[in-house]
Structure 1
Amino acid sequence: MTLPTIDKLYDVCEATWPCASQREIGGFIVRDGKGGGKRVSAATLNAPLARANYDEAEAAMDALGQSRLFQIREGEGALDQILIGRGYSVIDPVNVYAIAAKDLAIETPPRTVAIPTWEPLAIMEELWSEGGVAQERIEVMLRAAYPKTGLLSRWNDKPAGTSFVSMHDGVSMIHALEITPRQRRNGLGRWAMIRTGFWTLENGGETVSVICTQTNTAANKLYQSLGMQNIGSYHYRIKA
């Protein structure tokens, strides 16, 4: 099968990890993330570059109490250069991966290593909290449309990790994959990805996707080892 384009995966990311609200201001989509992180708080270009009004977009982000933050997608090099000239610095370049779900669902995971469950259990929230995934990000998960699920991992009869999966237009995306440090190096991240492949097929989807900061060497190696293809990328520009 043909994997989705990077433009479709941008849409999947927005649908499966949604902001609280958004408005078009100055030729940009300005998002209210309610503290849910960069993905739900960054502004994106939504008009020809010649119509962009940076002052209006910045004022809107200021009014929300958010950082002045823009997401730069592929093909937006001219916007990137303008923001550099306005004093913006690059932060968090991200890789976007995808794979056919049938190519991921190749072996049945052990019963307890990635148990689908929703809504999130208290232990899942504890594991996310340990990994730096605050309540504001859990609120993002609650906003996402169905189909969606959480995955709870147990290893050696102890809680080991958790993640969140949501699907849009046949493409699932896994978010907030956290394995507790004391349970790492047991292949639990791999099993969570494989379980996501099965869950995607069971819910009528065809593709599994994930995003990962380019500096997260371990995660990039995991996704590449599973045969996931790097479809594209994006990065942010932030102004102190």
Structure 2
Amino acid sequence: MDAALARAFEDTWPAAEYADAGGFRVGRGLGAGGRVSSARAVGRWTKGDIPAVEAIHRRWRQQPMFRVPDTDDGLADALQDAGYRRETPTAIMQAPVAALTGQPIPYLTTFAIWPPLAIQRDIWAAGNIGPMRQAVMDRVPAPKTAILGRIDDRAAGAAFAAIAGDVAMVHAVEVLPAFRRRGLAGWLMRQAAQWAADHGATWIGLAVSRANGGARATYDRLGFTEVAGYAYYAKDL
């Protein structure tokens, strides 16, 4: 992916702190999931850097984990040789903001709000986006917003969006089970795009698990295209 998207991908979902080990940067996630609790290559690395990364993870009492681009076969091979297992293949997708803003959103279906309402936090928590992951949203610098989605006069979905440069990234898209398959995820994304346009962004991006076929189909229909991918490589603490 290009430099602007790569920057937005990191800046809009940051770890609590970082430490470097050789050619790797390690995130301290404080229980907020692999995105912020993994190491990634930021320069020239050697196999000898891998134990140094593991030492940082263990000092922080988090599982040793690396986030590896699909194109980095050398790192993937080195980690597998070191006993790591591949997990959660993920696609990074992007679209022009203008591709999502041309269709009017039905009245009272979505709202952009910051800080999040209690009901949005409840919706996230119901989808395993609990307080530790929500703490990531709280430490993202502005501009940022929480998207609320409604169906049948009820709060039914939530998402988080933030901007770095001219790229808006959308994270934590969650629709309550009783309201799925009714198009709300698409309206959440269109509201995020409208908010992004209002704040000067020209591109919108997201990450989606390759196993989540329903979400991937929604993003395909909205005009997103895959521009990169990665997987986690993990071993037991």
- Using structure 2 for the length normalisation, give the TM-score: 0.96
Alignment match, 2:125: 129
Q: How does 1:28-47 map to 2 (within 5 A)?
A: 28-47=24-43
Identity percentage of aligned residues:
30
Partner Cα separation in structure 1 for residue 32 and residue 4 of structure 2: 22
Can you list the C-alpha shifts for 1:117-147, whole angstroms capped at 9, x where unaligned? Answer: 0001110111111111110011000011111
CA contact (8 A) 2:70 2:231 kept: no
Shift of 1:223: 0.5
Q: Partner residue of 2:98?
A: 102
Q: 160-169 vs 24-33, which deviates more?
A: 24-33
Once the two structures are superposed, residues 192-221 of structure 1 have per-residue CA deviations (whole angstroms, 9 ceiling, x without a partner) of: 111111111100110111110000010110
Distance 2:5 2:137 in 1: 18
Distance of aligned partners of 1:7 and 1:213 in 2 relative to their CA distance in 1, 3 Å threshold:
farther
Distance change (3 Å), C-alpha of 1:56 and 1:202:
same
Counterpart position of 1:68: 64
The superposition leaves residues 97-120 of structure 1 with CA deviations (integer Å, 9 ceiling, x where unpaired) of: 110001111112113222000001
Please tell me whether residue 10 in structure 1 is matched to residue 9 in structure 2.
Answer: no
The aligned runs of 1:170-185 (5 Å cut-off) are 170-185=166-181
Report how many residues are paired: 236
Q: Deviations over 1:161-187 (max 9, x none)?
A: 111000111100111000001111221
> Which residue number corresponds to residue 84 of structure 1?
80
- Unmatched 5+ stretches in structure 2: none
- Aligned-partner Cα distance in 2 for 1:120–1:52: 44
Q: Map Cα deviations across residues 68-100 of structure 1 (whole Å, 9 max, x no partner).
A: 100102432101100000110000111011100
Give 1:52 shift: 4.9
Q: Where do 5+ consecutive residues of structure 1 fail to align?
A: none
In 1, Cα distance between the equivalents of 2:69 and 2:205?
17
User: For the aligned residues, what is the CA RMSD?
Assistant: 1.3
**72-81 vs 130-139, which moves further:** 72-81
Give the TM-score, by structure 1 length: 0.95
Match of 1:118 among 108, 114, 119: 114
2:146 is aligned, of 146, 150, 156, to: 150
Letter in 1 for 2:230: Y
For 1:205, the equivalent position in structure 2 comes to 201
Distance 1:74 1:7, change over 3 A: farther
Contact preservation (8 Å) 1:27, 1:52: no
Q: State the alpha-carbon separation in 2 of the partners of residues 234 and 223 from structure 1.
A: 18
**Aligned residues of 2:16 and 2:30 also touching (Cα < 8 A):** yes
Residues 99 and 52 of structure 1: is their aligned pair in 2 closer, same or farther, counting only changes over 3 Å?
Answer: farther
